[in-house]
């Protein structure tokens, strides 16, 4: 069985046009990459920790606060980086912003419903007599 990464690499090698693009040769925002990676990772840790220690636990709140601070630092960094990972100017597009809002409104209500214990049994049909 061929690992999917090797298959993707072979397809990319064959199908993608050869060109240098911007790449990393002209520099990269390593600080921004570090801020967003650690911030998102800690955000996930904070969300996962809400199950066991609880939402109000100091460790959960502290981890969430650090994650939020790092993500805000990432946004600040993107306004000043010579080569930002996420050019914030793209959010000036009303069409893009509206599409993102619609995506959040459509996807958010259904997220998590499949993991709810109530979704596996409906009403009185789950009771035994």
pLDDT digits (tens, 9 = 90+) for 29-62: 999 999 999 999 999 999 998 888 888 888 899 9
Residue 20 has a pLDDT of 64
How do the domains of the chain map onto residue ranges? 36-84
What percent of the chain is modeled with pLDDT above 90? 32
Report the distance separating Cα 38 and Cα 21, nearest Å.
27
Residue 122 has a pLDDT of 47
In the predicted structure, residue 113 carries a pLDDT above the cut 60:
no
- What is the pLDDT averaged over residues 93-113? 82
- What is the pLDDT averaged over residues 8-27? 77
All residues at 6 or more sequence positions from 31 whose CB lies less than 8 Å from its CB, including other chains: 77, 81
Report the distance separating Cα 123 and Cα 1, nearest Å.
44
Residue 4 has a pLDDT of 87
Under 8 Å between Cβ of 32 and 38: no
How many CB atoms are closer than 10 A to CB 64?
Answer: 18
Q: In degrees, to the nearest 5, what angle opens at C-alpha 106 toward C-alphas 105 and 107?
A: 100
Q: In degrees, to the nearest 5, what angle opens at C-alpha 79 toward C-alphas 38 and 36?
A: 10
How does pLDDT run across 56-88, given as a tens digit for each residue? 888 899 999 999 999 999 999 999 998 898 888
In the predicted structure, residue 2 carries a pLDDT above the cut 50:
yes
Residue 36 has a pLDDT of 96
Mean pLDDT over all residues of the chain?
82
- What is the pLDDT averaged over residues 86-97? 88
Under 8 Å between Cβ of 73 and 67: no
All residues at 6 or more sequence positions from 69 whose CB lies less than 8 Å from its CB, including other chains: 39
Note the pTM of the prediction, 2 decimals: 0.62
Report the distance separating Cα 105 and Cα 99, nearest Å.
10
């Amino acid at each position: 069985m061929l690992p999917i990464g090797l298959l993707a690499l072979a397809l990319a090698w064959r199908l993608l046009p050869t060109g240098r693009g911007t790449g990393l040769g002209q520099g990269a925002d390593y600080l921004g990459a570090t801020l967003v990676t650690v911030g998102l990772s800690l955000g996930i840790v904070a969300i996962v920790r809400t199950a066991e220690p609880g939402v109000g636990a100091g460790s959960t709140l502290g981890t969430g606060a650090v994650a939020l601070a790092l993500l805000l630092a990432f946004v600040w960094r993107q306004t000043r980086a010579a080569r930002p990972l996420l050019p914030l100017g793209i959010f000036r597009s009303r069409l893009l912003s509206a599409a993102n809002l619609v995506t959040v409104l459509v996807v958010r209500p259904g997220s998590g419903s499949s993991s709810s214990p109530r979704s596996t049994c409906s009403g009185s049909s789950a009771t035994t007599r």
